[in-house]
Amino acid sequence: MDVFEAIEKRASVRAFKPGDVPDEHLIKIVDAGRRAPSGYNHQPWEFIVVTDAEILGRLGQIQECIAQAGAAIAVVVTETKYWKEDAAAAIENMLLAATALGYGSLWVEGYVLAQEPLAKKILGVPEEPHLIAIIPIGLPAKKPRQAVKRQIESIMFWNQYGQRRDQAD
């Protein structure tokens, strides 16, 4: 699947079929995350790959669907000038990689931030770096459908804000 197809197919999946995600696929997904751009190339991230069913079950306290997933990737980030942006780039790369490999995934951030101490305890993350997101990954229980997006014509301008293509020439 090429990148444009993965972008078109990527959807938030909250229900998974039982089944494992092979280690080689998880390594590819994390590799996509580590290749993301970062401010000053600081690469402030680390990734915890979770495949243990017991740990996934405990993480289900944060967001129920994590317990159903075949695996999850926790994103741990050290504060730098652009750490939030850097983490977002890495997370999006991993979401697209998971889609390209035929998996469903979900960017779980709000629930993680609200329960960060619990999530850190479950995963053994020390106090200092931030645990910013957990990405459950697995085979979707049903065919994923991307949420409705705004029409490109309503959000795209040419050369200046508010200027449409037919006005740009």
What is the per-residue pLDDT for 169?
A: 61
- What's the pTM value of the predicted model, to 2 decimals? 0.95
Render pLDDT for 25-47 as a digit per residue (tens, 0 to 9): 999 999 999 999 999 999 999 99
Report the CATH fold assignment for 3-168.
NADH Oxidase (3.40.109)
pLDDT digits (tens, 9 = 90+) for 95-130: 999 999 999 999 999 999 999 999 999 999 999 999
Question: 123-132: per-residue pLDDT in tens?
Answer: 999 999 999 9
The amino acid at 93 = N
Q: Are 12 and 94 in contact (CB under 8 A)?
A: no
Domain boundaries, the chain: 3-168
Are 88 and 133 in contact by the 8 Å Cβ rule? The answer is no
